[in-house]
Amino acid sequence: MSSSALLPVLPRTALVTGATSGIGWETARLLAEQGCTVIVHAPDTESGHHALERLVAAGTDRARLRLAVADFARLDDVRALASMVGAAHPVLDVLVNNAAVAAPERHTLTADGHELSFQVNFLAAYLLTHTLTGPLTARPGSRVVNVSSSMHRTASISWNDLNRERRYSRHAAYAQSQLALTVFARATAPTGCTTVSVHPGICETTLLPLYAHEGEPATEGAARVVRLCDPATELVPGGYYDRTALSPAAPVATEERTVRRLCKIADRLVAA
């Protein structure tokens, strides 16, 4: 028997954002079921504790769960979350950028001055991922999975009016945030880390009204996300997955100049 065969399989650690309900909650449950230590992100303490209680009631081992609270409408909260996670978990194997909100009916800016859905759905994920580069590169084979949407195909990035103050539409604002998240997956990932984006399907979540009247159970969408987190699943770096299939993203999402431009703007917008 080779010495390598005697090496223990180290437990993996995963951070799932937006894990209090829907696909995020189911993703946290499935990852914990696979033996991961799962950091369950919640926007507030009350919803976070409720999510943990529901996970334990569903059969999840409480010892595998950690709670992390941050309001993604506040970038300082994102920075504090990254600092806390990095200090407690110097090795992070999986980051699932799942947190998302529907753009409100009325144009809404965060305290940081950004359109709400653009910040929560994209800028927060961008900042969190970059700030966690250390833990994400501590062990080879780490993965960042951006839970995006097929709606990115209908979107355009309003480069001169990212907050869409001149002409606001909640559907256009939300779609823009999903396109940005899909584009971000194509940016150069930290060494040893693979980043992809996925449309998990139209599922029964709080975002369903943006898409349709009916959807699949959230657990089915989560299973597609978790599949991409599995080291046994081969990934194409920067790839866009439609449910389980590698699919062409919208042409604009594959343009290198778009990737560079978006990252340059995002760097400026999340600068402390």
C-alpha distances out from residue 67 to 143, 169, 236, Å: 20, 34, 31
Other Cβ atoms closer than 10 A to 85: 23
Pick from 59, 46, 48, 54: nearest CA to 17: 48
Report the distance separating Cα 122 and Cα 204, nearest Å: 22
Report the distance separating Cα 37 and Cα 93, nearest Å: 10
Q: Record the tokens describing residue 123, joined without a space.
A: 């800028």
Pick from 29, 241, 269: nearest CA to 150: 241
User: Facing residues of 145 across strands?
Assistant: 96, 196
Report the distance separating Cα 29 and Cα 38, nearest Å: 8
Maximal C-alpha separation, the chain: 68
DSSP character string of 93-158: -EEEE----PPPSS--B-TTSSBHHHIIIIIHHHHHHHHTHHHHTSSTTEEEEEE--GGGGG----
Contact 109, 115 (CB under 8 A): yes
Is 174 among the catalytic positions?
yes
Name the active-site residue from 174, 211, 240, 241: 174
User: Facing residues of 96 across strands?
Assistant: 16, 145
By annotation, the residues acting in catalysis are 174
